[in-house]
A and B are shown apart, each in its own frame.
Chain A
Amino acid sequence: GDSVTQTEGLVTLTEGLPVMLNCTYQSTYSPFLFWYVQHLNEAPKLLLKSFTDNKRPEHQGFHATLHKSSSSFHLQKSSAQLSDSALYYCALRATGGNNKLTFGQGTVLSVIP
C-alpha cells in the first residue's frame, strides 16, 4: 500500500534560518506528491504539488523537488519566518489508485524569534 514518512514531531527553528522538512514515500504507482500546511484551528491548505521528476515547484518561498529515484519530496525554505509556524503534511495520491490522499504523520514547525 501507499505510505508517507515525514520528519518526526516538532522542529524548532530560529527566525531567518533555513527550513528543511523531510518526506519520503512508498507507492505502487507513480504518485502525485503534495505538501499541505495547517495553521492552528484552520483547515489544511495546499502549499505545493508535483508529479514531474526533478521539477521544483515553489510557493510562498517554499520549494520541494520530487526525486523519484530516492522517493523523496523534501520541503525547503531559505529563511524561516514567524508566520511559517504550523503543522506541515506531506501527502501522495497514486495515479493507479483510488484518488485518496495518503498523509504522513505531520511535522510541527515552530519558528522562534
Chain B
Amino acid sequence: DPKIIQKPKYLVAVTGSEKILICEQYLGHNAMYWYRQSAKKPLEFMFSYSYQKLMDNQTASSRFQPQSSKKNHLDLQITALKPDDSATYFCASSQDWGVSYEQYFGPGTRLTVL
C-alpha cells in the first residue's frame, strides 16, 4: 500500500484559477515537505513543516500556501495560477526534523496550467 498519497495524480487548470494539491502520509512521520520539479529546473525545495509548524518557506510567491489540518496532512494551495506553475509537485516526509532523517517522496501531482 502506498505510504504517501498525493491527489490528484494529474491536474489541468486555467490561468488565474486556484487549485489545492493533497498530501497524506501514513508513515507516522512528524516532518513533511513540498518540492517542485519542472522542465526548466531540477527538484526544488518549497516548504517544510514539523509537527504542523512551518519551519521554512523558500517560495518567493505568496500564491503558494501550505495547509496542515492534521499531523499527517500537508496540502498545497496555489492561487492565481500561471503557466510557469506547470510542474510536478512532490510531497515528502521524514521521521523527524533533522538532517540525518531520510526524506521519502510521494508519487507527485503533475500540474499543467493552460
- Tally inter-chain residue pairs, CB-CB below 8 A: 54
Q: Mark A23-50, 1 if CB is under 8 A from B, else 0.
A: 0000000011000000000111110010
* A31 to B103 Cα, complex, angstroms: 15
Q: Indicate if the CB atoms of A44 and B43 lie closer than 8 Å.
A: yes
Assess whether A73 is interfacial by the CB under 8 Å rule: no
**Interface set of A (CB-CB < 8 Å, partner B):** 31-32, 42-46, 49, 51, 89, 91, 93-95, 97-106
Number of interface residues of B (CB under 8 A): 24
Assess whether B56 is interfacial by the CB under 8 Å rule: yes
**Interface set of B (CB-CB < 8 Å, partner A):** 4, 31, 33, 35, 42-45, 48, 55-56, 58, 90, 97-100, 102-108
Q: Name A's interface SS.
A: loop
Minimum distance in angstroms from A48 CB to a CB of chain B: 11
* A45 to B44 Cα, complex, angstroms: 15
A100 and B107 contact, Cβ closer than 8 Å, known pairs A51-B100, A89-B42, A95-B99: no
* A44 to B102 Cα, complex, angstroms: 12
* A102 to B56 Cα, complex, angstroms: 13
Which residue of B45, B90, B102, B106 is within 8 Å of A100 (Cβ)? B45
Neighbouring A residues of B97 by C-beta, 8 Å: 99
